[in-house]
């Protein structure tokens, strides 16, 4: 029997980005979109084009480097009160994004109609109808998000149902029931969805839940059991206030435990690495205790648990961790991990097996660096260099002999500004090179000085750009002596790559990441033989 299909709709780039502490750059959004695409997520909400310049650029940039299988979706509200949809400039920005699918949200709760929009119930229905019909007339497929649906239904079920019927009759392809305040419990979700199915129909219903009552995942699953066919959520549950339904839990629960088809089975094994990579991109520490994908989700420590798991993992594991790309960890003996190294080596074209001493050498070095604070999920360029070092295949393209960085704060008028000067000495092809460069910060100056020293020998470096720089304090209790992890993203204009450095000295950590970024970039160029 074919598995029933559940359409996964990711809103990390819009709803997830509203989480306090997340500020996505344009490059961040593009990287996340492509990772979701590689995962096989069918619908990716990109943002509200017209709301800010970054979201406008995002949709245009995707046209230059399009997704391979996913549909990117533009998001906006219905037209404004007393404004015809065809004349609403907000909708023109959405149409200019050029997406086939558009998600609009409208008011389901009469309280929001009268207090928020300060209009009448009839006008709200007109806004829903006019907006959907206009977008349909422009060749768009429409997903209608019924905002505050469950609160609206509890307060005035007749009017809430009328908003859904209006959207359906106007031509919306999907009707999505939103628990926007996150206060509804699973048994209420089940009951209300049942009533919607009876009164509006069961075809193409969706669910969008928030986690304010810590029930977002449970609510999404409850809705699916009642016939919902689309689940909206975010990676790692990111979102405003307490977050959204966590797709890293929703997907494996539906697919592995309930027999639904959400994504390709082979892609399910990428779930853990994707979760951690996106955590790095948004610059938030991954939750080690997150269900399914957390580092501790399948960790066992001592005593009865360890002895039982070594005999039969089913004794203390609800699924096989490999099914979602995670791994079992016996904390006291630090076992497992070879399969991950082998899979990564194979992806780089390296022919290794479990019996090869080099495999164990790579694993030992990996664990040693992880204990120091390194994290390679979002820094695969550094991991490839690590493997080449362990295999004795890494070229020494240049060697650092030393560097100095001088920073000063200059006061001119009321606005002070900083200036940094870096001096670096490197050995390249038997020659010592001493160069100086200025930058608006110490890392910028160091990066420029290094490139200046190397570009004469490796002219390809002139086409490299440092596109992103992230810093994370790993042990905040240590104060100014805390260990720092630096992620540097570089690009040659065609392909991005990320490297990592760790040190108690932020400049040293930055230098390590910058150096590996340049080194890896050179390996990608035809003038330097790729070592694989």
pLDDT tens-digit profile of 476-515? 666 666 789 999 999 888 888 999 999 988 889 998 999 9
Q: Supply the pLDDT for residue 202.
A: 77
Give the pair of three-digit tokens for residue 142.
């429409």
Q: How do 7-10 and 71-77 pair as beta strands?
A: unpaired
Query: Helices 380-390 and 506-524: crossing angle, nearest 10°?
Result: 80
Give the gyration radius of the chain's Cα atoms: 26
CA proximity to 248, closest of 182, 292, 295, 186: 292
What number is the average pLDDT over the span 185-200? 95
Residues of the chain above pLDDT 70, percent: 92
Residue 113 and residue 96: Cα distance in Å, rounded?
Answer: 28
CA proximity to 76, closest of 121, 37, 46: 46
Q: How do 174-179 and 205-209 pair as beta strands?
A: parallel
Q: Supply the pLDDT for residue 208.
A: 98
Query: Residue for token digits 């007109």?
Result: 126
Please state whether the predicted TM-score (pTM) of the whole model is above 0.75.
Answer: no
Sorted by where each starts, the structural domains of the chain and their CATH numbers stand as 7-281 (3.20.20.70), 399-524 (3.30.160.270)
What DSSP assignment string belongs to 330-391? ETTTT---HHHHHHHHHHTT----TT-HHHHHHHHHHHHHHHHT---TT-HHHHHHHHHHHT
Q: Supply the pLDDT for residue 2.
A: 64
Residue 412 and residue 477: Cα distance in Å, rounded?
Answer: 36
Residue 180 and residue 95: Cα distance in Å, rounded?
Answer: 26
What number is the average pLDDT over the span 125-136? 98
**Confidence band of 22 (pLDDT split at 50, 70, 90):** very high
Give the pair of three-digit tokens for residue 350.
């390296």
CA proximity to 135, closest of 162, 108, 163, 173: 173
Residue 108 and residue 145: Cα distance in Å, rounded?
Answer: 9
Give the pair of three-digit tokens for residue 373.
């604070």
The H or E element spanning position 72 is: strand 71-77
CA proximity to 134, closest of 71, 89, 176, 178: 89
> 3-class SS at 470?
strand
User: Does the pLDDT value for residue 531 go beyond 60?
Assistant: no
Give the pair of three-digit tokens for residue 469.
């720089």
- CB–CB of 460/490 below 8 Å? no
């Amino acid at each position: 029997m074919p598995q029933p299909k559940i359409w996964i709709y990711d809103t990390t780039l819009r709803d997830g980005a509203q989480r306090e502490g997340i500020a996505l750059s344009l490059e961040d959004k593009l990287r996340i979109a492509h990772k979701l695409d590689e995962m096989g997520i069918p619908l990716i909400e990109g943002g509200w084009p017209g709301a800010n310049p970054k979201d406008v650029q995002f949709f245009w940039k995707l046209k230059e480097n399009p997704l391979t299988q996913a549909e990117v979706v533009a998001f906006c509200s219905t037209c404004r009160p007393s404004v015809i949809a065809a004349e609403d400039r907000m909708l023109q920005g959405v149409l200019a994004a050029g997406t086939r699918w558009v998600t609009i949200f409208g008011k389901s709760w009469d309280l929001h109609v009268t207090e928020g929009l300060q209009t009448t119930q009839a006008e709200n229905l007109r806004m829903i109808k006019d907006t959907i019909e206009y977008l349909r007339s422009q060749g768009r497929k429409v997903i209608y998000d019924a905002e505050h649906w469950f609160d609206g239904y509890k307060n005035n079920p007749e009017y809430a149902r009328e908003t859904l019927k209006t959207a359906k009759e106007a031509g919306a392809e999907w009707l999505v029931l939103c628990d926007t305040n996150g206060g509804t419990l699973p048994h209420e979700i089940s009951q209300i969805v049942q009533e919607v199915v009876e009164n509006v129909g069961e075809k193409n219903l969706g669910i969008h839940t928030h986690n304010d009552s810590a029930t977002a995942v449970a609510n999404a699953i409850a809705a699916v059991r009642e016939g919902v066919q689309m689940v909206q959520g975010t990676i790692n549950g990111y979102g405003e206030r307490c977050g959204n339904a966590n797709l890293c839990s929703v997907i494996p629960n539906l697919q592995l435990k309930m027999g639904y088809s959400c994504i390709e089975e082979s892609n399910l094994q990428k779930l853990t690495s994707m979760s951690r990579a996106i955590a790095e991109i948004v610059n938030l520490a991954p939750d080690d205790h997150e269900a399914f994908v957390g580092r501790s989700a399948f960790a066992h420590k001592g005593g009865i648990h360890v002895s039982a798991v070594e005999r039969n993992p089913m004794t203390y594991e609800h699924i096989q961790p490999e099914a979602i790309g995670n791994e079992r960890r016996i904390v006291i003996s630090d076992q497992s991990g070879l399969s991950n190294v082998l899979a990564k080596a194979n992806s780089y074209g390296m022919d290794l097996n479990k019996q090869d001493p080099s495999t164990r050498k790579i694993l030992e070095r990996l664990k040693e660096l992880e204990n120091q604070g390194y994290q390679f999920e979002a820094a695969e360029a550094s991991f490839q260099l690590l493997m080449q070092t362990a295999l004795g295949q890494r070229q020494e393209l240049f060697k650092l002999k030393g560097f100095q960085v001088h920073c000063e704060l200059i006061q001119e008028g009321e606005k002070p500004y900083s200036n940094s000067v870096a001096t670096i000495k490197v050995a390249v092809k038997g020659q010592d090179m001493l160069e100086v460069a200025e930058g608006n910060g110490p890392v910028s100056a160091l990066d420029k000085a290094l490139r200046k020293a190397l570009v004469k020998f490796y002219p390809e470096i002139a086409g490299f750009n440092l596109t992103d720089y992230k810093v994370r304090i790993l042990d905040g209790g240590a104060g100014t002596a805390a260990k720092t992890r630096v992620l540097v993203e570089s690009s040659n204009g065609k392909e991005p790559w990320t490297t990592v450095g760790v040190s108690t000295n932020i400049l040293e950590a930055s230098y390590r990441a910058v150096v590996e970024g340049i080194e890896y970039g050179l390996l990608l160029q035809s003038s330097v033989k790729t070592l694989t």
